[in-house]
A and B are shown apart, each in its own frame.
Chain A
Amino acid sequence: MAHDHPHDHDHEHGSDLSPMAARVKALETVLTEKGLIDPAAIGVIVETYETRIGPRNGARVVAKSWVDAAFRDWLTRDATAAIASLGFTGRQGEHMRAVFNAPGQHNLIVCTLCSCYPWSVLGLPPVWYKAPPYRSRAVIDPRGVLAEFGVVLPETTKIRVWDSTAELRYLVVPERPAGTGALSEEQLAALVTRDSMIGTGLALAPGAAS
């Protein structure tokens, strides 16, 4: 394998496809030939989640909640409506609930049974969120899981793990980092990482955002 170039595969011929690529292509071809799907719809769906809907949506929600007390209150009472007011609605975000980190209180979101995740504000979930290590351990060993993300909380901090077993989708609102009093809402949003909105991270300190 000395000449293996992982990004140099020739995908023009079916025989070069990986087994899953071939399987999905076969399925798509059959469904298209039978008039069951519009293959152009696939492209639009993919473009939506690759370029339009992602964690920057959630970051805007969090940043606004840091600077706007009325919005934060709305987000507490009716997260679905508050988030919709910023234009973020739809699939896998129909019923939203925001949970707030505070001194001594950390929140962590998991879906032990599958991969429920708030698509409308965070986009599609990362692989680790859907994989057995996270799903199995987040509920029984959240501190151990957090440590693998580099998050070490004081022993006195209470950890609440929210298992998304129903159609409610959860967004963690991380604590606002210290020393950010002078930042604009947009600058604050840049400090809000995807992981901080799942609870496997914290918001970045000012100057750490790139």
Chain B
Amino acid sequence: MTHPIPPGTRDVLPEEMRELRAIGDRMRERFENAGYGEIHTPALEYEEVLRLGDASAAGARYRTFDEQGDVLALRSDMTIPIARVVATRYGGAEPPLRFCYLSRAWRATERGVGEPREFLQAGIELIGIPGAEGEAEVVALTIAALDAAGLRRHRVGVGDGSLYRRLLGALDVPADRHLGLLECLSRRDLVGLDMSVTELGVGQAERELLVGLPELRGGREVLDRADGPVAAAVEGLRVLHDLLEQRGVADRVIFDLGLVRELGYYTGAVFEVYDPAVGFALGGGGRYDDLIGRFGRELPACGVALDVQRVHLAQAAEEALG
């Protein structure tokens, strides 16, 4: 007899569970040793509370009602619940605050059969340390946690989600064109971006910036190539690079000036985590300086979430390569 389970969910049997557990435990241990206390929040939240953090409740799709008729949603990430906890339970605590989690989150997908909708995430949130200093700590700890998980060749892509928007502002691109350009950028449809920029009818120098910026990725040198109106905007990334160098992990970082993340609450630096053994990002994160303020306590923050199952995939693939 076979009985179905909902699409995108799966059962984990002992052999895989042991490996997943080992990876999760090693990452959590690294987080705890760095001063990040583990936190647990309910899987179900009031939808209207999640919506305080993000208009789309960060993509939460599974909803139900309780006996009062209130709408409950399965959380789609841990960042919004932790922002709620900080405002509610740590209203007077002296920052910085450091939290880690090993928790499930749920997202719907319109994709094919088997695409996961339930994720086990290992992540950290660093609250109260602004700018590059906070980002350097998060990036370095992300790299260390993946070292602990058994990966060897992982890298972190670092960009600034506000960069292109600022460039559009600096070049006086009409506001009604922004959305189209940003959509091309977010899909990295460089052909579409090129066409949209051509339609703007700007000069050659502006054109090169608008089309060329998303192609800039690599080491520290790409920050020097970002001149003109974005030169000041990448200053934060330069500082971040120097801090990462002091922590001895600068060579693990790829600056990617076209990087944007799907979630709306990021305000500055954004991260994505890669391993050459797999073709998709293992996780990501960024700076979200406005989010906790929406719950009533103004605090800068940044964090990262890693998909434990993808980390496991990468670890297995790296192992196979030897």
A and B pair up: no
Chain A residues engaging chain B, CB cutoff 8 angstroms: none
- Residues of B whose CB lies within 8 Å of any CB of A are none
